[in-house]
Amino acid sequence: MSKTELNLRTINYSLASEPLGLWIERFITDRRAGGAASGTVYFYTEKLKVFHAFSTAQAVDTIEQITPDVLRAFLRWLEDTGHNPGGRHSFYRAVRAFMIWVWTELDLTSPNPIKKVRAPKVAIEPLEPVSPETVKAMLDTCDTSTMAGARDKALLLFLLDTGARMSEAMAVEIHEVDPGGAVLIRQGKGRKPRTVYIGRTTRRALRAYLKFRGIQPGALWLTISGEPLTKSGLVSMLRRRADYDGVEAPTPHEFRRAFALAMLRAGVDILSLQRLLGHSSLAVLQRYVKQTDLDGQRAHDKGSPVESL
C-alpha cells in the first residue's frame, strides 16, 4: 500500500469518528441533491431521527460505534415499543440505505455491519382494492350535466383505468393526454417518467369533462373555480361521492390496487404491469401476485364438491 493510499484510508476512518447526527444530515443532503422526491426525503429524515435518538441513548455517537448488535438492539426496541413488522421493516430499509451510503462515501474496507443484520420478516397480507360495486355506486352519484359531476366521473374512471398514484394523477397536465388514450406521467416515483393509458369509456368521460373545463393549458383536473385540484381535494371528492351513496370511502391507492389486480386476473404479464405501475422492482408487485393466488383458494372453498357432501 502506498503512502498516499494509507493517508487517505486514515482520513476516511477519521471521518467515521465524526458525530452520527452529522452523517445523517449529510445523507439527507445527498438525497435532496440527487433529486429524491419530498416524500422520500421525509421518510429518511423521520426514520433516521428515531435511529439517531436510540443510538444516542445507547451511547453510540459515531459511525464506527455502530455494530450488528446495536442494529439488532434497535430492531428489538422497535418491536418492544409496539411497531408492527411493516413498520420495523421500513426503519430497517432507511438505516440500511444510510449505512450503505456511508460506507460508499468513505470507501471503507471494513465489513458493513448492516450486512450481518437480517431484515424483519413481513407477512404478505392481501391488499384490498376498491370494489367494482363501490366504483359503480360512486359513478351513479355523478351528474354529468354539471362540471363537478363530469369531472368526478372522469377522474374516478381515470384512477381505475391508469393505476396512477394520487400525486401522479394530480400532476397530469392537459397537453400530456393524447386523444388516442396515452397519458404521460411526467414525474413518477423516483422522478421517472412513464406512459399509462385510458380506454374508450374513460376517454368519453374525459371529453365530457373537457366541455366544461376547456382546453386551456395547465393542470388537467381543476376545481369549479378553475384552480388545480389538490391531493386533499381528491380525497374530499372521494369521501363526498361515497357519502352520497352510503358506501365506505375508498382511498386513492385502492384504485391503484384494483387496477393491478384486474390486470393480473386478465392475464397481463407481470413485466408489462410493472412498467404501467411504475415499480422499480417486482418486490411490491409480488404482493398483488400473492393475492391472485388466493383467488383459487376462494374458488375452491366456495365450490368444493367434497365440502358440499
Closest CA to 24 of 47, 8, 1: 47
Count H helices and E strands in the chain, helices first: 13, 2
- Active-site residue flag, 93: no
In terms of C-beta density within 10 A (0-12 exposed, 13-18 middle, 19 or more buried), how is residue 115 classed?
exposed
Phi, psi of 186 (to 5 degrees): -65, -45
**Annotated catalytic, 175?**
no
Of 243, 261, 238, nearest to 156 (Cα)?
Answer: 238
Nearest CA among 246, 269, 260 for reference residue 288: 260
Residue keyed to cell 444530515? 25
From 49, 72, 189, 287, active-site residue: 189
Question: Is 189 one of the catalytic residues?
Answer: yes
Contacts 24+ apart (CB under 8 A), 259-263: 259/129, 259/160, 259/161, 259/162, 259/163, 260/129, 260/163, 260/285, 260/288, 261/129, 261/288, 261/291, 261/292, 262/129, 263/163
To the nearest 10 degrees (0 to 180), the angle between helices 252-265 and 285-303 is 70
Enter the C-alpha cell of residue 131: 370494489
Active site residue 288: yes
Indicate if 279 belongs to the active site. Answer: yes
Q: Compute CA distances 215 → 158, 159, 209, 211, 273, whole Å.
A: 18, 21, 10, 8, 31
Catalytic residue selected from 153, 165, 213, 257 = 165
Which candidate in 9, 26, 96, 279 is catalytic?
279
Calpha distance 309→71 (Å, rounded): 55
> Quick check: is 300 catalytic?
no
Q: How many CB atoms lie within 10 A of CB 130?
A: 26
How far, CA to CA in Å, does 196 sit from each of 123, 124, 162, 188, 241? 30, 27, 6, 11, 25
Q: Which of 44, 92, 209, 288 is catalytic?
A: 288
Q: Which residues are catalytic?
A: 165, 189, 253, 256, 279, 288
